[in-house]
Amino acid sequence: MIPRRVWVRALGVRSPLGATWPATCAALAEGRSAVAPVSRFDARGYPCTVAAAEPTAADGEEDRRLALARAAAREAWSAARAVAPPGRLGVFVGAESGRTSFATLVSLARAAGGKATFDHGAFGVAARPVAARIQAPRMSPAAIASALAADVGARGPVETISLACASGSAAIVEAARAIRRGECDVALAGGTGADVDPLMFAAFGLLGALSERGVSRPFDAHRDGFVLGEGAAMTVLSHDREGALAEVAGVGRSLDAYHLTAPDPEGDGAARAMRAALTDAGTARVDYVQAHGTSTPLNDAVEARALRRVLGDALDDARVSSVKGALGHWIAGAGALGFVCAVEAVVNGTILPTAGLRQPDTECALPHVIGSAIRRSVETALVNAFGFGGANVSIVVRRP
């Protein structure tokens, strides 16, 4: 069986800079940044006190991951006008496990008693009033895809990908593969992240991953870590070319098998993912790279080296940028947001800038886009997403 081609029918984004993708894109093109002091909780005492928070996201015990994903999915689904029988419609979502509110976690910890031996009976009595506030579905990454499938009436393959920062792009890859194999005709795919909360600030702070200066500036000589952000990006893919924005021309995935949080310093896994995507697309060059570009010292340098190794001198004729400078790191939603930016470049020739980048690091000698967006014809774009655990995903997007 000859693999079917996969076409991008529509895009949807809910971000701190806009309720839709056109609104978000316009703000990004101007070089605006959503990074601001945290107001959702008291961030004093944390190593980083800023974030790119989505202002309309639900608080309390509601699932902000699902609220963001639904907003992005509605935009993409209404614009796609894709038709498929329920059994031929799939949903693929990149999502991490959810969390109850920090206040509830503290209450549960107090109910546990802090003794050397855990007393489940006593805990059950003390925690019962707290447990009533916990919604079980929000604790599972799978709940997002199931909810979206119910929203659009999908009864085909429904899948959740949880690969940290590579989750959203991996979901798009698996959706494309399902369409290629004929398992479904239309797929809603993307990722969502809602990690602007005390627990994640504390966790990433312990890892030393957050910017203590409070600035997201991928590839900059003075970068010192990433800034957390939140939002969702969704796309509708189809085997039907009619009305297509772009083609998912090539996909590649790999694993470093090196370290749980640090990338392979040689960038071998990243390079293998990029080469696989380029080979799948039948090309050796691209006009634009939407980089993973987290703003951490090691990750940016490794990605820059891997890009140079894979693309060689052809990289000088392309342009490279990272949306995380403006919208922070969405973790599970990051790769899907990068995919949307790559499609935008192919469709409209809008190459978005890397916000925060002022003085490029000599170790990251790339053809950067600084300040505001540039307009340029883009035939082919590459998007990268590299996650904790060494998961690497690359996608090639091409003009129809």
Tens-place pLDDT, residues 43-53: 999 999 999 99
Range of the structural domain that residue 302 is part of: 7-99+137-398
Q: How many CA atoms lie within 13 A of 320 on its CB side?
A: 24
197 φ, ψ (degrees, to nearest 5): -150, 165
Do 154 and 91 belong together in one domain? yes
Catalytic annotation, pick one of 48, 165, 184, 341: 165
CATH number at residue 37: 3.40.47.10
d(CA 284, CA 200): 39
| 144 & 281 share domain | yes
Q: Specify whether 201 is located in the same domain as 302.
A: yes
* Over residues 166-179, mean pLDDT: 98
The pLDDT assigned to 62 comes to 64
Find the range with the poorest average confidence among 24-33, 129-138, 261-270, 279-288: 129-138
Q: How many domains does the chain have?
A: 2
Pair 216, 259 in one domain: yes
2, part of any domain? no
Three-state DSSP at 11 gives: strand
User: Looking at the structure, do residues 115 and 240 belong to the same domain, yes or no?
Assistant: no
Tens digit of each residue's pLDDT (9 = 90 or more) over 178-207? 999 999 999 999 999 999 988 899 999 999
Task: Let me know if residue 80 belongs to a domain.
Answer: yes
Q: Kindly state whether residue 221 falls inside one of the protein's structural domains.
A: yes
pLDDT tens, residue by residue, 359-377: 999 999 999 999 999 999 9
- Angle of helix 64-80 relative to helix 142-152, nearest 10 degrees, comes to 40
Is 1 among the domain residues?
no
In a domain, 59, yes or no: yes
Please tell me whether residues 270 and 322 are part of one structural domain.
Answer: yes
Q: Do the domain assignments include residue 191? A: yes
- The Cα–Cα gap between 3 and 251 comes to 13
Annotated catalytic residue: which of 48, 184, 239, 329? 329
Considering the chain, what is the average pLDDT of its residues? 92
The reply to whether 56 and 112 lie within a common domain is no
Report the alpha-carbon distance of residue 134 to residue 63 in Å, rounded.
10
Q: Does 200 share its domain with 261? A: yes
Average pLDDT for 222-226: 97
- Alpha carbon separation from 269 to 385, 386, 391 (Å, rounded): 11, 9, 8
* Half-sphere exposure at residue 281, Cβ-oriented, CA atoms within 13 angstroms: 29
Please tell me whether residues 32 and 167 are part of one structural domain.
yes
165 part of the active site: yes
First to last CA, the chain: 22
Length of the chain equals 400
Can 48 be counted among the known catalytic residues?
Answer: no
* pLDDT at residue 58, as a whole number: 54
Residues 116 and 224 in one domain: no
Q: Cβ(369)–Cβ(45) under 8 Å?
A: no
Per-residue pLDDT, 126: 72
Q: pLDDT value at position 241?
A: 95
Q: Which of 214, 217, 254 is nearest to 368 (CA)?
A: 217
Q: For residues 241 and 111, state if they share a domain.
A: no
Question: Which position among 48, 184, 292, 364 bears the catalytic label?
Answer: 292
CB count in 10 Å sphere of residue 118: 9
In this structure, the answer to whether residues 130 and 219 fall within a common structural domain is: no
Is 119 among the domain residues?
Answer: yes
**Distance of alpha carbon 193 from alpha carbon 233, whole angstroms:** 9
